[in-house]
Structures are given as C-alpha cells and as structure tokens.
Structure 1
Amino acid sequence: MTTWHGCKNILVIRADNTGDVLMSSPAIRALKDSFNCRITLLTSTDTSEVVSLLPMVDETIAVDLPWVKLKANHATHIVEKLVSQLKVASFDACVIFTVYSQSPLPAAMLAWMAGIPRRLAYCRENPYELLNDWIPEKEPYELIKPQVERDLDLVERVGAVAKEKKITVAIKENAISSVRIKLEALGINLSKPFIVLHPGVSEEKRQFPEEKWEELAKEMLKLLDTQIVFSGSDSESSITNRLKDRVKDNSFSTGGLFRIDEFAALLQMSKLVISVNTATVHLATAVETPLVVLYAQTNPQHHPWMGNARVLEYSIDEQIKSKNEVIRYVDRKYYADYLPLPSVNDIMQAVLSMW
C-alpha cells in the first residue's frame, strides 16, 4: 500500500455543495490527524463558508469549476489562474472526493497541470498519468457505500486512518450568543423548546410540497408544547415568510437570518429538526440533534451518517429525474417501486417517537 506519511501540504478537492463537504470532513480530518499536515480545501464559492466549522482545514480556495453543477458563469482564464495558484502552493499531494456518478478526471487534470506529484481518487476508467494513486470505481454496480464511508476508505488507501468517523463541527460561543439574540428579537421564548423546519432545497426534485409543511407545522403546534422555526437561506426567505404568515402563532421565519456557523448553533439549540435531504441533515447530525428527514429518492448514499434520525423516503417525478445514466441505473435498481409522499400523520408518528 502506498503511504503519504511524508506529505505535509495536501490539497483536497470537493467542489460541490455544503452537504458534500460535510460528508467528506471525517476523511479530511483523517488526513490531518494521520499526517500532521496542512490541509487546503478547494471548493465552490457558496460552500466555502462552511469551512468556519471545520478546524481541520487550514486554508480555502473558493472557485466555481466548469464541470460542477453550480450557478456561476465560467471563463477559461479562471481555470488558468487556478492552475498557476496551485503551482505556487507546491502541494505534496491531492485528494479528489467524488460521488459515484462523477468523474474525477477534470480535477485530476487540474492537479496534474499544477505539478502536484501524488493524486488520489476513485476512477471508473484507467486514468493513466492523471492519477497515480487510485481505486477502481465499483459503485453503484457492485455496491453502494454511505458517502462518508466511501471517502474514509479512499484516504485509508494512502495510510490515513480515522480516529473518529462521525461528522463533527466546531461552533464558537459567539455564534451561539448571536443566535440567542436574534431569536429573542423575533419573539421566540428560549425557555420553551422549538422545532426547526427546513423546507428549502438545492434541487427541484427534492422539494416537499409547501402546503404539507404548513399542515405539519399546524399539527405539531396543536399536539406539542413547542414553537416552530422555519429556516432557510436568503433565497429561501420567501418560502419561510409565507409559511410563517400561514401558520401564524408560535411560528417564526428565519430565512437568510443566519451565517452557517449560526445556523449550526440554531440546529444544536433546537429539540428536533425536520428537513428535506440537504446540508441541514448533515449539520443536524453533526450537532447531535434528533432529525426527521423527508427524503426524495435521489442519492441513497447520502442518508444521515451515525445520527439519531428517522428517514421517510418518497419517489420523485419521472420528468425531473436526473439524465445521468449512472444515477438512472440506481433509480431503476433501487427505486423501481413507487413511494407516495409521507403523510402528515406519517411524519407526526416519527416526530412523536423522538419527542
């Protein structure tokens, strides 16, 4: 087995969304702990904020790459500039984290052009010189691993062994204080429990109907002595505001109110989180808050990792399913049977089992 014990300056490429970086963080921590090295994370601009919660990352390069599904417009000079930046950094090695439906080769080409001598990833085809440490890609045709386990297995290939396999985050006290101030300003009674409902999604196919969120919130307020906090990003504030206006008493809209570290603190303070399958799920798991996940059947490897969670799956409409043939294979094999949306009664049963 090749080992990287002499590597002291490692680049990690995970250029996707916040949830992806959180799921890769146990493997990044294993690199840090095993090699006592400097870690630089190359990730997307929207995701870079989450690094404030990950003390194992020493530096961040935030850039939106043209082979990743993001909202940014791309130009060739951005990649050319990035290659120059990576050359100057003189990295000893590079790890490329992917899901099984992604190719590591564009990122591998980037690392190769930057002269990074050791390059590690899963790969479906022979990468020849682009990757000199690699694992043949067997997912999803032979097996599907949880994403955290997949990433841990990748770095173990070069000698990085995890002391702790959970997703963890570091929340500073000032973030907790800031959340308390903001919640009290909204009129939330911090001596009473509250439940966070997170309706926002990064992809349309993961949406859970807005009217169902409203119905669920009203039912919880009727049956439980609690308050409802609707959470979301700034772009999702219109949804959280609408839901707050419809649910009325003891409900609060916080769309766009919190930084990522404050949002993690909010989840830590809440008695329960209910969310679609998005980064919120992995943050709630990291802060050990009980969780109900309304899980559109898209990525079976992204279930909550080592957390106290109830997962309620449902099918997605054929018209909005991915066109990626690897994902379509998974859909045909694992999601052939139609599952209706969880009813409010189904969700309430899950909530009551955790209350």
Structure 2
Amino acid sequence: MTTGGHTLVVRLDSAGDVLLAGPAIRAAAAASARTALLCGPRGEAAARLLPGLDDILVYDAPWVGFDAPPARRADTDALLDALAARRFDRALILASYHQSPLPAALLLKMAGVPWIAADSEHYPGSLLDLRHHRAPHRHEAAAALDLAEAAGLRLPPGDSGALRVTCPAAAPHLTGPGPYLVVHPGAAVPARAWSAPRAARAVAALAAAGHRVVVTGGPAERDLTAAVAGRHALDLGGRTTLPELAAVIAAARTLITGNTGPAHLAAAVATPLVCLFAPVVPAHRWAPYRVPHVLLGHQDAPCAGTRARTCPVPGHPCLDSVTDAELLTAVDTLLTRTPGPGPDQEVTV
C-alpha cells in the first residue's frame, strides 16, 4: 500500500475507545496528506481533543452501543454520500476484540473506499484488503497501533505511542487553588464503578486523610456527584465540558475512577490514577495505558469475563469490597512514587 493521500480511521464506540485510538490515528496522520475519523456521537467530543485529525465524521451506527438506533436507509445514504465526497484512499477500521469490523467495511466499500484494513476473525470475502489478526491478549491501544503498522502507517520519530490529547487549558476557576485529587464515580456501565454509597465513603476517607477532593461527572450525573461529594469535596458534577474535564484531571495529583473514559483521559494527560477495575472485561485489554496506575478490584470475582453491564453478584463485591485502607495505600504509593524510565507500568501496592 502506498502512503500519502487521504486516510480514514473508523472507531465507532465511546469516548474512551476513541482516546485509545489516538496512537493509531497519529500513525495514520504521519503517513497521510489528510486524516479523518469516523466516530459515533459518544466519541465525538473525545475525537476533537486528538492531534492529527483534519476532519471528523459522526455516524450513529446501528450495530454499536447499548442503545443502538434502528437501521435507516436515509442515515446510511447520507453517510455513503459524505464518505464518497471525500474520496478516501484507504481506511483503517478499529474495533474491540469482540466486535466485527465487517458492517463498517461493507459501507466503506459501497462508498468507494478502495483499500480497507481491519482485525477480523471472520471471513471477510472481498470487504478487506488487509485482514489482520491481533496478537493474543493485546491491549486495545496497542492492537490498534499494530493494525496501523501492518498497513504501513507508522508513528513519526520521537512519538512514544502513548495516549495524547491537545494540551488542555488550566481550570483554576473550576477547582480553586491548591493541590487536589479527583474522584470520578460514574461510568456508562454501572458494573464498572463503585456504588454511590461506597464512593461517598471513599471521598470521606480521602478527606479525613488530609486530601482535598474534587468530584467530577457528566450532566446526567449531578445527583450522583452531589451524593458522593457530600460535605467533604468540591462537586463539579455537570459543570465541565470534556476539554475542561481534561484540564481538571491534568492538574490533579491523582484520579480515582472506574474502568471508564476518564481513566483513559488521565492517561492522555499523564495523570497517575487509581483504577477501580471490575473484571467483567479483561484488564490486560482495557487497563490505563502507559501511565502510572494502581488497579483495585478483585479480578477473580464470579463476574469475571461476563461483560455484564449491571453487576450480577449481590453487593457488587469485586469493587465495593475494596477497603478505604487499600485506597489510601494506593493513593500514597502513587503520590510518593519516584518516576521511572517509562510510564507504562502498573504500580504494585
């Protein structure tokens, strides 16, 4: 495959998935005259933070997401027209290990994209020009970059391949002066976060240990963040755009959150984090990428590998049984850690 020309990268999932596609997007941009991303509506705000993109197209795919829209001929025709008008030379379709890239590949072929690459365990017929097989147990960000490299698209010299976003502006008007920790209690998948009462007890324990705590969340999480912050923390629930959230996390000493988009946002701004990682999906694929972090959560819990959205075990023991002492030890370990030669290791506590 020749480089140059116009490259399309496809990542149709959530904001966190789009952030994990960042290194592959930068590899595409380094080898292309123009680079575009086709993403879903939940990933658009994250896409606008990524370096290397000249264009962003948004499509709510009927085969992606928990509340996928119905398949409509008008929506498909509009997407095909938009793709055809841009005359792409090649495309990379990035999808999670359990997803098929073939619905997207079919639409791209119908739009006239002449060369398409994707990881696929299913027979692609004529839909893929490069059918790549991802390495076993590969992290999602690394697997995406592997595909780009297999297509002849490589990161430029000096690019380490870590996650990255355009430098967010400082947000002292939101957080006030002085050092702080961030607790982000929500997640699109409830099984991947603490229950609200458990998160509230954690915030109280952090405050009692002398930490100033800022609680963040989206517009739909105002009741959650108010309950979690209580009288112990500053509540920023519903008060930040995604760029402002990036700025708040970038200035934090540490982030405490579940396996959700802000964990990957922290990695992109190089903020160490304590990640409450429910084993419903494997940590080797979705843990914070190339940033100092501590994983808390019982990885051998009965919910392991189920991809459950709501915890199937009464009491949510994989995360809610994590103690305040374990949390405080993890935070102290990250705050006192001497930086090593590389940012990609998990910190042991």
Q: Under TM normalisation by the shorter chain, which class is it?
A: 0.7 to 0.9
* 1:291-306 to 2 correspondences below 5 Å: 291-297=273-279, 298-300=281-283, 301-306=285-290
Residue of structure 1 aligned with 2:173, choices 162, 174, 181: 181
Question: 1:145–1:320: structure 2 CA closer, same or farther, 3 Å change rule?
Answer: closer
| 3-state DSSP of counterpart to 1:127 | coil
Residue of structure 1 aligned with 2:88, choices 71, 91, 109: 91
Residue of structure 2 aligned with 1:127, choices 110, 124, 127: 124
User: Are 1:231 and 2:216 counterparts?
Assistant: yes
Q: Distance in 2 between matches of 1:31 and 1:16?
A: 19
How much has 1:137 moved relative to structure 2? 5.2
| One-letter amino acid of the structure 2 residue matched with residue 352 of structure 1 | D
User: Are 1:354 and 2:334 counterparts?
Assistant: yes
How much has 1:50 moved relative to structure 2? 1.5
| One-letter amino acid of the structure 2 residue matched with residue 124 of structure 1 | E
| One-letter amino acid of the structure 1 residue matched with residue 93 of structure 2 | I
CA deviations over 1:109-134 (Å, ceiling 9, x no partner): 01111110000001112212100112
Q: Which moved more, 1:74-83 or 1:108-117?
A: 74-83
How much has 1:100 moved relative to structure 2? 0.9
Residue of structure 2 aligned with 1:202, choices 168, 188, 192: 188
Contact preservation (8 Å) 1:52, 1:261: no
CA deviations over 1:204-237 (Å, ceiling 9, x no partner): 221212122111111111112x311111111111
Residue of structure 2 aligned with 1:148, choices 138, 141, 163: 141
User: Are 1:51 and 2:33 counterparts?
Assistant: no
| Structure (1/2) with the larger helix percentage | 1
CA deviations over 1:130-165 (Å, ceiling 9, x no partner): 001121356xxxx21011111111011121122421
Question: 1:58–1:229: structure 2 CA closer, same or farther, 3 Å change rule?
Answer: same
Contact preservation (8 Å) 1:285, 1:304: yes
| One-letter amino acid of the structure 2 residue matched with residue 232 of structure 1 | G
User: Are 1:258 and 2:243 counterparts?
Assistant: no
What TM-score do you get using the length of structure 1 for normalisation? 0.85
Q: Distance in 1 between matches of 2:205 and 2:5?
A: 54
Residue of structure 2 aligned with 1:118, choices 106, 112, 115: 115
What 5-or-longer segments of structure 2 have no aligned partner?
310-316, 336-349
Q: Distance in 2 between matches of 1:39 and 1:319?
A: 38
Contact preservation (8 Å) 2:100, 2:122: no
Specify the alignment match of 2:32 in structure 1: 36
CA deviations over 1:254-293 (Å, ceiling 9, x no partner): 1111111111110011111001011111111111112100
Q: Distance in 2 between matches of 1:353 and 1:171?
A: 27
User: Are 1:159 and 2:152 counterparts?
Assistant: yes
Specify the alignment match of 1:4 in structure 2: 2
Contact preservation (8 Å) 1:271, 1:289: yes
Specify the alignment match of 2:344 in structure 1: none
Question: 1:240–1:208: structure 2 CA closer, same or farther, 3 Å change rule?
Answer: same
How much has 1:16 moved relative to structure 2? 0.2
Aligned length, in residue pairs: 320
Contact preservation (8 Å) 2:89, 2:115: yes
Question: 1:137–1:308: structure 2 CA closer, same or farther, 3 Å change rule?
Answer: closer
Contact preservation (8 Å) 2:7, 2:32: no
CA RMSD across the alignment = 2.1
Q: Distance in 2 between matches of 1:61 and 1:230?
A: 32
| One-letter amino acid of the structure 2 residue matched with residue 180 of structure 1 | P
Contact preservation (8 Å) 1:13, 1:42: yes
How much has 1:55 moved relative to structure 2? 2.2
Specify the alignment match of 1:307 in structure 2: 291
User: Are 1:23 and 2:7 counterparts?
Assistant: no
| 3-state DSSP of counterpart to 2:201 | helix
Contact preservation (8 Å) 1:4, 1:158: no
Question: 1:215–1:323: structure 2 CA closer, same or farther, 3 Å change rule?
Answer: closer
| 3-state DSSP of counterpart to 2:228 | helix
Q: Distance in 1 between matches of 2:18 and 2:223?
A: 27
